[in-house]
Amino acid sequence: MKLWKAWNLKTKVVLSFSFLFAFSIISSGIFYYYSSVGELKKQTLQLLDTNSTQITRSIELYIEDMEKLSLSVFYDSLVQHVLSHSEQTNEAEDASLNQQITSHLLNISVSWPSVQGIYLYPTDNKAVTYYWAKRSPFVGNTIAQEPWYPYVETYTQSPYLLWPTMTENTITNFQEKKVFSLIREINQIPTGKKIGYMKMDMDIQAIKDLVSYREYGDAQDSSLFILTDQGNVIYDNQDSWTGKVIEGIKVTDLIGKSTSGTLTWQGESYLYGSYRSDHTHWTTVILKPMNSITKRLKEIRNTVMSIESLILLLVIVIAWFIATGITRPLRTMITTMRHVERGDFSIRASQTDHRNEIGQLGRVFNKMLDSLQDMISRVYVAELREKDAQLLALQAQINPHFLFNTLNVLKSLGRKGATTDVVEVTESLAHLFRYSLYDWNGNVELREELNLIQSYMKIQTIRFQDRFIYELDIPERLLKARILRLTIQPLVENAVVHGLEQRKSGGFISVHVGADDETLEIFVSDNGVGINKQTQEMLNRNFAEIDIHRSNTQTEHMGIALLNIQKRLHLIYGNQYGLSFLHKPGGGTTIRLAVPLQFE
């Protein structure tokens, strides 16, 4: 801030123009960039969610078709016969049956090009395997050599088991063909006895043809995975994880979360969409790198920033010329003002033909010099004297009625010989006058003001005997709050004179003090004659509109004391503080005094 004040006007104008332009452009650019990224991210997540759902549905339909094919094998009469009597055959019969089965399975699967082989394993003769396959398995291949066999006997989630993708184990698999398998138990019809297992191998290329996932735009950088709950990769569109266990992605975490969101994999941030099939228990996950989403926007952002930098440079140049045109005549004006500062009121600013603000400033400055002396003598000095006279007048206004009544009380007590009461009244009266001699505009602790009220009420109690009582309610912590002198006692006096003087008995006056964080509030209440609603509204309006520069023209309505208090409060604290009458249900009058809460 000190550095800013030390700079000249030209520098401030140039920097202000440049800063405002740069701030507005940069702010709008940042807002546009992040809004665009957010909207693009939202649309991408929706697209990934939709695609993963559609792909999962397609795979479910494909597996359902494979299940139907496996059922056709399950219910085939030849298959049922061969597996039911496998232990009763010899080697020659096995060879013959295998040839029949091969031909039969070929006929069943001829319309399914993705099926790579169908294998039948009898439970009663585990050394025998019947099959049809596009590539022959190793000689002596049995069910015990299959990796899924330990799991299939305990598997109960569905009628069949889907085994993850693996390389096909055949003697002619030169291309390392990758397949996934559908395995199911075969039961004898109609007894339901387990007579064997069937394994159907499907080419993973079928998933690729089935998915056919293509992205919009030029960047084809998304990763598509079909995963088991254990993380086995059934299919990877980039063919780098197919048949392996994926690292860095926990499928169980994706299942438990939303179907789309963000994740970090291999040190890079991705958007993902996922969907788990309840039918296959596979989860389709599509990953889209965040960098590919923001790459084009970053290019646009950098281009826009380059253009904005050139425009900012142009703005700085223009601002410099504008600032120079403003500050040059102002420097001339400053030189003239320095002569005036030294007391030379004869000098005048040079007149220019400019009709803009600078030219008008010179003409107004010359007129100001012509009237400066007159303004000092007629306005400045006069107003200072007026304020001094107002404060003196406020201090001089003391209610003579109270003094007259108190002297009458003393006279009456003297005649009765009540010397103790005379002493108490005299001391209380002395306290009142001694207290009022101090500076009215000085502030004291609230405790001192309340002691003054005690002295006043002691006089009034002796005067009126038992016609009313006085109550005080104030928290201990507020006794040290600061308040102007003689601001509460006139309110209590007003309640006695105008509210309770006519009552013969049962009157009361209460003073309640409260505060919030900023304001000290004092409420003076009585159960006297009260004032009607219209008069109350008029008094509050007069309180609000009071003019501290005018004389007391409303004393017949408000009383000199209340009027003086309101003027003093406005002079010292401002118009937001002061007096106001409050509505009091059941009769009587309540007046509120509000001042700033101060303790020092």
The residue written with tokens 């089965």 in the block is 101
* Partner residues linked to 202 by β-bridges: 115, 180
The sign of the dihedral angle between the CA atoms of 106, 107, 113, 117 is negative
Q: Note the pLDDT of residue 551.
A: 54
Mean pLDDT of the residues in the chain: 80
Q: Find the DSSP H helices in 195-289.
A: 205-211, 251-256
pLDDT band at 304 (very low <50, low <70, confident <90, very high): confident
Q: Is the pLDDT of residue 359 over 90?
A: no
In sequence order, what are the residues at sequence separation of 6 or more whose Cβ sits closer than 8 angstroms to the Cβ of residue 503? Answer: 467, 468, 528
* Residue 163 confidence (pLDDT) above 60: yes
Residue 216 has pLDDT above 70, yes or no: no
Of 295, 299, 294, 298, nearest to 37 (Cα)?
Answer: 294
Q: State the pLDDT confidence band at 323, using cuts at 50, 70 and 90.
A: confident
Q: What is the rounded average pLDDT of the residues 2-8?
A: 68
Cα–Cα distance for residue pair 553/550, rounded to 1 Å: 8
- Residues 570-594: tens digit of each pLDDT: 878 888 899 998 887 777 889 999 9
SS3 478: helix
pLDDT digits (tens, 9 = 90+) for 413-460: 777 777 777 888 788 878 777 777 666 557 888 998 899 888 888 888
- The reported pLDDT for the residue numbered 351 is 63
Report percent pLDDT > 90 for the chain: 13
DSSP, res 138: P
Using the predicted structure, report yes or no on whether residue 384 has a pLDDT greater than 50.
no
Q: Is the pLDDT of residue 505 over 50?
A: yes
CB 170 within 8 Å of CB 137: yes
Q: Which pTM value belongs to this model?
A: 0.51
